Amino acid sequence: MGLPGLTSSQMIEVDRIMMDELEVPVDLMMEHAGSNLARLCVTLSPTRDGVFRVIAGSGNNGGGGIVAARRLMSWGHDVIIYLPRGKESLRSVPLEQLRRAERVGVKIVNGLPEASTEQQCLVIDAYLGYGYHKQNDSISEAVFSYLRSESKIVSLDVPSGLDSTTGASHSLFNPIATMTIAFMKSGLLIGPKNLIGTLFIADIGVPMDIYESRLNLSWKPPYSLFSLNSLYLAFSQDPLQQVKLSKTDNGPTWSVSF
């Protein structure tokens, strides 16, 4: 049995269970996601005192990127948040996260940056998440074009413009890494590896038994509920697609590299 992944509709159900049944608010899950992302980006940055540019969308994926920006700023890094659709487009929870980022001094810019000439710059792609569906959208096309011009990108949850269920990409840029949230997404397991980069997975507090008891995902042998590392070590691996796990230096984020 290979490594299972969640479809977009299954991830929507996970979010519903967390918010409606377990009463875990979206801003708390967003905080966990953004904090993990910030730690990972420091680890992957060309230099420890690197420069970070966050491309944030209007929804919850953008909110996670904004949290990461606030954390990076609080650690003394050079951070700018770019809002391709402008501040007025943000939904309520990402907007509150933006206000928090502003309070600690993060610079906010409406629009997109010029292509970076700074060797130490790392771009954080937090524009679109697992709910992306292809549509004719000039702003998104401009974001995708910008991302194709950058060489050091880390994507949050899924690379923007990549279908989290099918793995089809409409953006065709090459992140160095993708940090997915809570559980692996199906599209990340079957999409072209050069359009995904090294895969990482971050714990945002979803109980592990939700995937088995509520979504009917199964794998063997029996697994521990206590950490994502135990969960992923429990999968029976396809010998043609081995998964290697390694803990980062800065927190509970786990690498899954093919």
| Domains assigned to the chain | 8-257 (3.40.50.10260)
DSSP run (H or E) holding 210: helix 209-213
What is the C-alpha to C-alpha distance for residues 124 and 54, in angstroms, rounded to an integer? 5
List, for residues 120-133, the tens digit of each pLDDT value. 799 999 999 998 88
CA nearest 14: which of 54, 60, 70, 71? Answer: 60
pLDDT, tens only, 50-103? 899 999 999 999 999 999 999 999 999 999 999 999 999 999 999 999 999 999
Q: pLDDT band at residue 251, thresholds of 50, 70 and 90?
A: very low
CB atoms within 10 A of CB 253: 20
Going by pLDDT thresholds of 50, 70 and 90, the confidence category of residue 232 is very low
The answer on pLDDT for 142 being more than 80 is yes
Residue 241 DSSP one-character state: S
| Per-residue pLDDT band at 181 (split at 50, 70, 90) | very high
Amino acid at 234: A
pTM for the whole structure: 0.86
Q: What pLDDT is stored for residue 219 in this prediction?
A: 55
Identify the band that residue 152 occupies on the pLDDT scale cut at 50, 70 and 90: very high
Rounded distance between C-alpha atoms, residue 62 and residue 56, angstroms: 4
